[in-house]
Structure 1
Amino acid sequence: MSIDWKKVSYILGQQIGSDLKNQGIQADVETFCSSLKSAFNGEPSEMGQEEIQQVMTGFQSFMQEKQMEMLKAEAEKNLVEGQAFLESNKAQDGIQTLPSGLQYRVLTEGEGNKPSAEDTIEAHYEGRLIDGTVFDSSYQRGTPATFPVNRVIAGWTEALQLMGTGSKWQLFIPANLAYGEQGAPPAITPNATLIFDVELLAIK
């Protein structure tokens, strides 16, 4: 099998260039290409190991600070958008708002017992961002989830104790009752408001 190394080289260059750009690394392309050619030809580095380590340590610190700034900006944006969404949502038909800020709509009212915080329950659910993006779904997996009521996000813990077995509710959970400033990367970004359809199937 023959390989067209010119085309392979072109593709590798495209991939590396795209990766650097996507990471926000403003590399000097001319220097990068020259260094790549030098290393490929087995030529010695123009920089000593101590200098390389010093430069790369500074670069890594710079990238970490940049990442933190981006996350902070995203968290602030998500918080504002989430608050606006919940403010508008609370006026919709059937929406109940609890003192904690948790909102819910009863889709089906079950007649079974309500779990306590110490109980383990079985439930089907689907989680979405406020833009409609599905980030998790037991329905799609075809298998309900089982977990302790007090080992999930605060919004779930609060809502589940109000639901009779057999109920299906739609939850609108503010960031402070979900994953907060930490988020749950990569699907759930910092300060994201979440929407869940939750069907309480059984108390174990």
Structure 2
Amino acid sequence: MGDMTTTPASAPAPAPAPKQDRSRATRRRLLEAAVACLAERGWQGSTVSVVAERAGVSRGAAQHHFRTREDLFLAAVEYVAEERSQALRALDGRSRAEVVEALVALYTGPLFRAALHLWVAASDEPQLRPRVTELEARVGREAHRMAVELLGADESVPGVRETVQGLLDMARGLGLATLLTDDAPRRARVVAQWSRLLDGALG
């Protein structure tokens, strides 16, 4: 009797990702590349072509998603701000010290560095200034709202609102210091002291 074994059929090729999913993935790569370029190269060194190359897409694909350079970078900072907000929401129920550390981290990473380059550019670019001002105000309001919620702060008590805003202003100052030197040990002491101050001020 002859050999009855048969060669198994090759597995079907995986179905290509839907066009909408590919488009979302491309947009995400562009936004992440834009933040990284802005943090590393600054405004002058971050062109659409540079971002597209880093994201591994064509310049045409980048311009399909973002009509102008300003659109791209504003969307990038807003995207990462939302990503960080989601990370903060996961802190619900954590200690005040952990919340303070997470809030400070918002201002000591690549998002803050990228945002700072946008602020500097906006000071010299009249067409960019109102859009950056509006974005910064929106991000700032959201950061304050989340800080109040996570810290369990009652802003009807006199001075509490200013205490929370002072925390965010302090975090921004630490972020500026971090741009030039790694001051992690000093920053840790400042953060610990703010946690103690908040415990006394917020009860």
Normalization by structure 2: what TM-score?
Answer: 0.23
Query: 1 or 2, which has the higher helix percentage?
Result: 2
More strand by share: 1
TM-score between the two structures when normalised by the length of structure 1:
0.23
